[in-house]
């Protein structure tokens, strides 16, 4: 069975579904017996959720939007 | 998706080694002779440049903000990317997935402006040794909490997370943001960043470890944790 170090190294790839089937089975076998690595897995999920959540609505500030509008309008005219 | 000479990689940056410190001023004709014919012309059967780009402006701006870490640099990067995209647009054959193409153009512009060499593909041992989960458990900065790891993450609002991301090498930062903020697959990131899949997977692995370290170091340097945790440094 894989050890904790190897298991932890695979967690994000596991969540990304990047592992080979064999690697995945080895990890799941380890997780079934190791509370510590289950905690690591949950923490990895939480970090990913935090990153994903940071990508929510990101309005362009008015000043920047005006700058881009001017640019796009200028490009249209320059064609 | 096949991108036809459309990421502007060879057009260069502002000639500065400083990270995103300055950008070009607004010059519509700053293409400098590149693609002199048919700039931004609407394909006979497709939408025009502005139609293609406008729906993605907010996404591009958000990406630029996360890559650059501040509004001024993000706006300069956006302008650079829009000009590059405009010049490359006539050669773009497949206009069905513009977001991927625009992401590639912006990421390429970001890379060129930084002029930083690629991070080593093989992660350094010290990067891989750090384990944030274990460090939080050992330091126990929230001794009365039964959700200590979540409490740690709760220290990081969007503004702080943006600062933390700036501590990562630009390759790692870009890969991490594209994958975990915006949900691009590793294969798509390879296409966006012009690197093989194996390199992207290695970068993502290293990026995750770097992020863990940066989160911890940020929390310590800003004294976000209790003095009990600080004593353990």
Sequence ranges of the domains in chain A: 1-55
Instruction: Quickly list DSSP for B107-154.
Output: HHHHHHHHTPPPPPSSPPHHHHH--HHHHHHHH-S-TT-S-HHHHHHH
pLDDT tens digit string along B131-141? 999 999 998 88
The residue count for chain A: 79
Give the predicted TM-score (pTM) of the model.
0.82
Q: Is residue B42's pLDDT more than 50? A: no
* A59 Cβ neighbours under 8 A, 6+ residues apart: B58
H or E segment at A10?
helix A4-15
% of residues, chain B, pLDDT over 90: 59
The angle, 0 to 180 degrees and rounded to 10, between the axes of the packed helices A21-31 and A4-15 is 120
Cβ-defined contact of A54 to B131 (cutoff 8 Å): no
Does the interface predicted TM-score (ipTM) exceed 0.85? yes
Q: Is residue A52's pLDDT more than 90? A: yes
- Among B149, B201, B205, beta carbon nearest to A46: B149
**CA–CA gap between residue B36 and residue B38 (Å, rounded):** 7
Cβ-defined contact of A72 to B53 (cutoff 8 Å): yes
CA distance A56 to chain B (A): 9
All residues of chain A having their beta carbon less than 8 Å from the beta carbon of residue B41 are 79
H or E segment at B99?
helix B98-114
Domains in chain B (CATH in brackets) are 16-25+42-114 (1.10.1740), 125-230 (1.10.10.10)
pLDDT tens digit string along B95-112? 778 999 999 999 999 999
Q: Is residue B160's pLDDT more than 70? A: yes
Instruction: Return the pLDDT at B72.
Output: 93
**CA–CA gap between residue B208 and residue A45 (Å, rounded):** 12
B65 touches chain A (CB under 8 A): yes
Residue B121: both structure tokens together = 């593909």
DSSP label at residue B10: G
Instruction: Return the pLDDT at B57.
Output: 94
B100 touches chain A (CB under 8 A): no
Mutation target to probe the A interface, by most A beta carbons within 10 A, among B133, B187, B203 is B133
Query: Average of pLDDT values for B51-62?
Result: 94
CA distance A26 to chain B (A): 19
Contact B186, B199 (CB under 8 A): no
**CA–CA gap between residue B120 and residue A55 (Å, rounded):** 27
């Amino acid at each position: 069975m894989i050890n904790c170090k190897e298991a932890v190294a695979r967690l994000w790839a596991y969540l990304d579904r990047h592992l080979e089937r064999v690697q995945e089975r080895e990890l799941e076998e380890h997780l079934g017996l190791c509370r510590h690595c289950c905690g690591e897995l949950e923490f990895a999920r939480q970090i990913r959720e935090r990153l994903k959540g940071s990508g929510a609505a990101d309005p362009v500030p008015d000043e920047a939007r005006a700058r881009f509008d001017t640019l796009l309008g200028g490009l249209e005219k320059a064609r | 998706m096949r991108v036809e000479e459309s990421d502007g990689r060879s057009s260069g940056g502002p000639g500065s080694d400083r990270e995103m410190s300055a950008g070009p001023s607004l010059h519509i004709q700053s293409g400098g002779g590149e693609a002199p014919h048919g700039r931004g012309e609407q394909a006979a059967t497709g939408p025009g440049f502005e139609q293609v780009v406008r729906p993605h402006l907010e996404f591009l701006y958000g990406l630029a903000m996360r890559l650059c870490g501040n509004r001024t640099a993000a706006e300069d990067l956006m302008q650079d990317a829009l000009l590059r995209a405009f010049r490359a647009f006539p050669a773009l054959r497949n206009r069905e997935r513009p977001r991927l193409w625009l992401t590639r153009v912006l990421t390429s512009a970001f890379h060129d402006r930084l002029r930083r060499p690629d991070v080593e593909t093989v992660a350094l041992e010290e990067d891989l040794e750090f384990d944030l989960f274990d460090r939080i458990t050992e330091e126990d900065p929230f001794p009365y909490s039964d959700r200590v790891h979540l409490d740690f993450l709760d220290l990081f609002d969007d503004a702080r997370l943006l600062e933390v991301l700036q501590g990562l090498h630009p390759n790692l930062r870009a890969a991490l943001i594209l994958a975990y903020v915006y949900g691009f697959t590793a294969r798509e990131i390879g296409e966006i960043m012009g690197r093989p899949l194996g390199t992207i997977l290695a970068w993502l692995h290293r990026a995750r470890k770097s992020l863990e370290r940066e989160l911890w170091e940020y929390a310590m340097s800003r004294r976000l944790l209790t003095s009990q945790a600080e004593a353990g440094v």
